[in-house]
Amino acid sequence: MHRFVLPYIWPIITGLLLAALVLLAFPEYLPNPFRQTPPATVEPPSSLVATSGEPAANRPAPEIRQAEPLNRNQGPASYSNAVNQAAPAVVNIYSSRIVERDQHPLMSDPFFQQFFSGDDATTHQRMLSSLGSGVIVSHDGYVLTNHHVINGADQIQVALRDGRETLAEVIGTDPESDLAVLRITLDDLPAIELADSEQVAVGDVALAIGNPFGVGQTVTMGIISATGRSHLGLNAYEDFIQTDAAINPGNSGGALINPDGALVGINTAIFSRSGGSQGIGFAIPANLAHSILNELVTRGRVIRGWLGIEAQALSRELAASFGLRTPQGVIVAGVVKDGPAAKAGLQPGDVLLSIDGQVILDARATMSAIASIPPGTELPLTIVRGGERMDMTLEVGERPVPTNATLGEHQSDS
């Protein structure tokens, strides 16, 4: 057996010895796992090769618009000038009303009633007080504040920054925008300047001045966080300026000013889960406040256009059921008896598509647009009834002044 194997083993051993000698003489042929090898160049497919006649090396670099360096010294180091200009016109408002004090439960027992005379046994009265803020907007004593600050008050007292106090007269209120106008009679009254709130931009510095928690006049600073805020369920007509300047209970009716000390809004509400400021406050724009001020002073009420319908938003499913491809327009859920819509022939179940040629995309925005139309105006409408489009003309009426009890129920009325 060994005679047949030995002839094959010796050549193998000889070959391995020769290979070892060659590798020792030329170590660069040894495999090295840590040695980096240049990647192999792969020719791109013909479909990816540039077809432009201009070589890539000769193309100019793209023109990139470089932003200017951020200037962090643009704003003033202090807003004291703005505060000194505006703060004297911001007042504290103390409203009080008389309520019936609850009778003690024992007084319902005839045994205890015999120990008290008839006068003593009657229900007693007590005084409830609330506080807020206001802004003097004219030298003849007109003060803007929120309706909810003075709502139901039997007496309203106004305290100025200079220490003077006086009773105020209610000129008029507008619950649907939550604004009220008071008047005080004092000499040398300061008055704030009103800015054009249409020029307010997101990112502008804003200062809130008021009397939070009754601690005294306080100034807080933030920015304009948003404009045109609506669908908040606060008022019937909403077009709020949003700010992160700290607004707390007692700030209602106070001033939101710009860095020049001009009024850009009347602080009115906050979004809060704790009752305190969480950086989301809302102010009524100065332009809207100005127009309502003029109407309350000159007419005693705010005149708004009115159709006399109850509108319901049109969902995609409802739109499909009415044969509409897109959910635009509103459903007429109800028609006020003898109102403008009823006289024009509108019926519950009609889909109101457009008003005066303007397609209805948002019911609340349309409601605000209708409110700005003078009563008596002839208004063309487009509706869908029974799957057919119809055109009609409606004469805009004057919106009735809602009572406090029904204000919340009619916020979707148009």
Amino acid, res. 332: V
Q: How far is CA 53 from CA 43, 45, 57, 291, in A?
A: 19, 18, 12, 66
CA–CA separation, 94 vs 129, rounded Å? Answer: 7
Active-site residue (options: 148, 177, 413, 414): 148
Which of 251, 221, 248 is closest to 91 using CA atoms?
251
Active site residue 197: no
Active site residue 252: yes
Structure tokens at 68: 């200017």
Given a contact cutoff of 8 angstroms between Cβ atoms, the answer to whether 297 and 172 are in contact is yes
What is the three-class DSSP state of 373?
coil
Residue with tokens 């202090």: 78
Which of 375, 207, 186, 347 is closest to 281 using CA atoms?
207
Given a contact cutoff of 8 angstroms between Cβ atoms, the answer to whether 144 and 133 are in contact is no
C-alpha angle 100/106/108, rounded to 5°?
A: 70
Structure tokens at 323: 């044969």
Which of 408, 414, 409, 412 is closest to 178 using CA atoms?
408
Q: Which residues, in sequence order, are CB contacts of 212 under 8 Å at separation 6+?
A: 218, 246, 247, 248, 249, 250, 251
Active-site residue (options: 95, 133, 197, 252): 252
CA–CA separation, 269 vs 96, rounded Å? Answer: 21
Structure tokens at 318: 């409802």
Amino acid, res. 217: Q
Kindly report the backbone phi and psi dihedral angles of residue 12, in degrees, each rounded to the nearest multiple of 5, phi listed first: -65, -45
Terminal Cα-to-Cα distance of the chain (whole angstroms): 114
Active-site residue (options: 174, 178, 239, 413): 178
C-alpha angle 148/151/157, rounded to 5°?
A: 100
For residue 146, count other CB atoms closer than 10 A to its CB. Answer: 25
What is the three-class DSSP state of 21?
helix
For the annotated catalytic residues, the residue numbers are 148, 178, 252
